[in-house]
A and B are shown apart, each in its own frame.
Chain A
């Protein structure tokens, strides 16, 4: 009896050891691809830039200081310089704009798909995701061809006599937001669809039964119940849009920089790796702080109701 117990205990310990061993690859991946690069970035951001790229191993907070201030060459006084911050602000505005545009158009799209007969839904979803199968660069260049002065849109509008001079769309803020919207639209539709598909439409009928008009059923029942999908979609669009690189580079024509381009520049032509690392970390901490406050707010609402 006790021998049996001992042997099962031994076997359990063995299984424990094996299962711990089996988690090693995933732990290694998390470390090598997740934690290690962050640590490298953190370390680099506190070093000095080398003349031809790379870093010199000497501690310095210069990267963070120069993010907010410019140093006078002669008397070394610091003056506040909002140049970088304004790029961050612009990126934030673009990302929010993209998110709102995706939500406003994605919600009806997802609702439409979710209310189709079950066998049709997958085809509609396929249509939404098909553009994803081609390269982002190609899609962005395609937009460029459509909206440029001699592009498809202007060509038609002029031929139809609506306008007599092309509307300048390329290399404007509009072009960037349009490109971002097009790139990230499926990221909004898919989570929205997932939560709308789970929605019990008998609740919608119950709403109508209790004197709610269509608009109020939408506001008071459908939107609250689709909230997890709305939140997930907004995050999935907002975060990558904030750090977008290719789209603003091509459609903004290099004049309307976004954070992604700014950071890329530090590692490229500017040869200031510490500043690039610092800019990336500042962006990341901003996003993390926002997420933290968001999570704390919603968690409080979800559970606290039991009273």
Chain B
């Protein structure tokens, strides 16, 4: 009847959440959030603690109801359904494994609640145990396995009913660095093998960049930018995103000329650089541009357009960070890979030139 074709995927349309706290005033945790998450996508919600990631995830799962907007799964409105009627499962931050059940009973729980036949349950549990490499531990109580293993069981338990969407709330934050790296690879593999849509929450930008197909950067209840990791890293839409994702240098300048997608900017030092411009923006007047530290190159101070002096040099093994001070007084960081025979030896106070190749600078929206 309706001309609207049901779109496959998870759609979050103008969703807001206002917590009413008696005696403390209201608190707006989410403000007009709209996202479209495609089937079989590894989608990440990235933002600092308290920005509303968990709240959004809990509304998708059904533990919390939106005060504005709607959530649709494959075209059907689901925002009013209780959690047990949504084909969506969650990997909880603290795992929330059932302590009175064994590993395999935990994994079987969802299937039992769906009243699947016994044979099918057994088969799926075996399959899941293999998938997360926990077959040996199947008879153990959840208190008798390590944190990393609990993590795997929580994953298997949530994947066993084969949900349309899997929600993961900072699932790796409790693990140590080495285990976390392993699990990052493991999660990507699981997502690839199962073909399930993953909505992954993290406050770790590196984790988000390495794992996601697309990222939504959030701050204070709002989505600031949605895009691929490369998109977000290379073309941050605003100062918050640029700052939150990786290290950045901010420079101010005035627009000399602007064409769609690019502009020539005259920096305070007099140098002119070519910079990218976000879609739909026509920059004019005073603007801020960002340059990633690894995109700038240290050159001869005589010929370079941008000049400064060395402040400190920090050696990181694979690369070296040069913290510089521009002639305009602004700080500027350059990161260079350490390659055999190509080391640059710079001392504090030494004058240097900075080359900013065309196109690596990016104009910010605000």
A: residues with CB less than 8 A from B are 200, 202-203, 205-213, 216, 220-221, 224-225, 305-307
Q: Is the CB of A212 within 8 A of B84?
A: yes
- Which residue of the partner chain A has the closest CB to B109? A210
Q: How far is the CA of A206 from the CA of B94 in the complex (A)?
A: 11
Residue of B82, B90, B98 contacting most chain A CB atoms (<10 Å): B98
- The answer to whether the Cβ of B340 comes within 8 Å of any Cβ in the partner chain is no
| Across-interface contacts of B84 in A (CB, < 8 A) | 208-213
Q: Is the CB of A211 within 8 A of B96?
A: no
Q: Can you sample 27 A-B contacts with CB below 8 Å?
A: A200-B96, A202-B94, A202-B96, A203-B99, A205-B63, A205-B92, A205-B96, A206-B90, A206-B97, A207-B109, A208-B84, A209-B62, A209-B83, A209-B88, A209-B89, A209-B90, A209-B158, A210-B110, A210-B158, A211-B84, A211-B113, A212-B109, A216-B113, A221-B98, A225-B100, A306-B139, A307-B139
Q: Is the CB of B99 within 8 A of A212?
A: no
Residues of B in contact with A, size category: 20 to 34
Q: How far is the CA of A116 from the CA of B61 in the complex (A)?
A: 24
Closest 8 CB pairs of A and B: A210-B110, A211-B113, A206-B96, A208-B83, A307-B139, A202-B96, A212-B113, A224-B100
- The answer to whether the Cβ of B141 comes within 8 Å of any Cβ in the partner chain is yes
From known contacts A211-B114, A306-B140, infer whether A205 and B83 are also in contact, taking CB-CB under 8 Å. Answer: yes
Q: Is the CB of A202 within 8 A of B92?
A: yes
- Which residue of the partner chain B has the closest CB to A305? B141
Q: How far is the CA of A215 from the CA of B157 in the complex (A)?
A: 21
Binary flags per residue of B68-90, CB closer than 8 Å to A gives 1, else 0: 00000000000000111000111
B: residues with CB less than 8 A from A are 61-63, 82-84, 88-90, 92, 94, 96-100, 102, 109-110, 113-114, 139-141, 144, 157-158, 161
Point out the residue from B63, B94, B98, B161 that lies within 8 Å of A211, measured CB to CB: B161
Residue of A207, A213, A224 contacting most chain B CB atoms (<10 Å): A207
Q: How far is the CA of A212 from the CA of B109 in the complex (A)?
A: 9
Point out the residue from B98, B110, B140, B158 that lies within 8 Å of A203, measured CB to CB: B98
From known contacts A206-B98, A208-B63, A224-B100, infer whether A305 and B139 are also in contact, taking CB-CB under 8 Å. Answer: yes
Q: How far is the CA of A209 from the CA of B93 in the complex (A)?
A: 14
Q: How far is the CB of B202 from chain A (nearest CB, A)?
A: 19
From known contacts A203-B98, A225-B99, A305-B102, infer whether A210 and B92 are also in contact, taking CB-CB under 8 Å. Answer: no
Q: How far is the CA of A305 from the CA of B105 in the complex (A)?
A: 12
From known contacts A205-B63, A206-B98, A305-B139, infer whether A211 and B110 are also in contact, taking CB-CB under 8 Å. Answer: yes
Q: How far is the CA of A125 from the CA of B340 in the complex (A)?
A: 73
Q: Is the CB of B82 within 8 A of A208?
A: yes
| Across-interface contacts of A220 in B (CB, < 8 A) | 109
- Which residue of the partner chain A has the closest CB to B114? A211
| Across-interface contacts of A206 in B (CB, < 8 A) | 90, 92, 96-98
| Across-interface contacts of B94 in A (CB, < 8 A) | 202
- Which residue of the partner chain A has the closest CB to B100? A224
Q: How far is the CB of A51 from chain B (nearest CB, A)?
A: 60
